[in-house]
Amino acid sequence: MTLMEQIARADERSLAASALACLDRCLMPPEDGGDPEPLRPLWVSCDTGEEWAERLDAVCAAMERAAADGGTASRVRAMLGDAPREFEAGPLRSWADACSLLALDVHREFDFPAGDAHALELCRTGGAADGGPLVTGEVLRQAEILDVLAEHAGAAGAGAGLRRVLDLSAEGRRVLRAVMSRRARGRVR
């Protein structure tokens, strides 16, 4: 099943969690000592959707107050601003799709060689070989996250699935941060 097919079949819980995971991987650590995990309050709402809109508003406000570094952080803030306030599959599907593309685009920017932005859709429909190593890894990570969430959908103890998603996202964030750090060191020399 392609990533696009997985997104099309996902329930609201899976869509919200996969979208958050995409955004989470794109956020770099704050340089001003701010909250290193600003999306954490939203993760709590992913399981049932309880207090989703309130938590979303609070996270958006906190992200707005954070020091603006432009680039990726501003793109994540904009994507959070576009998030649906209702915890329903239809609106969340569109948002999760956009978050997926954002994460792939961020990975594409740091890939070597940097791929074509138009190839991202192809990667999501089964042409992962057309992306560079970072994009290909991100496509696989997104698919694995949706698989984990689908396995735990509607089950008691679904929090275990969310815990695994957080772990997968943290792993992806470390990979991207390492590449960004290497690239920054290369520019300094």
Residue 165 has pLDDT above 80, yes or no: yes
pTM metric for this prediction: 0.89
Number of neighbours of residue 107 by Cβ within 10 angstroms: 29
Task: Return the higher-pLDDT residue of 105 and 152.
Answer: 105
Sorted by where each begins, the domain ranges of the chain are: 3-188
Q: Which amino acid is at 82?
A: D
Q: What angle do CA 38, 39, 45 make, to 5 degrees?
A: 140
**pLDDT tens digits for 25-72?**
998 777 666 677 889 889 989 888 999 999 999 999 888 765 455 678
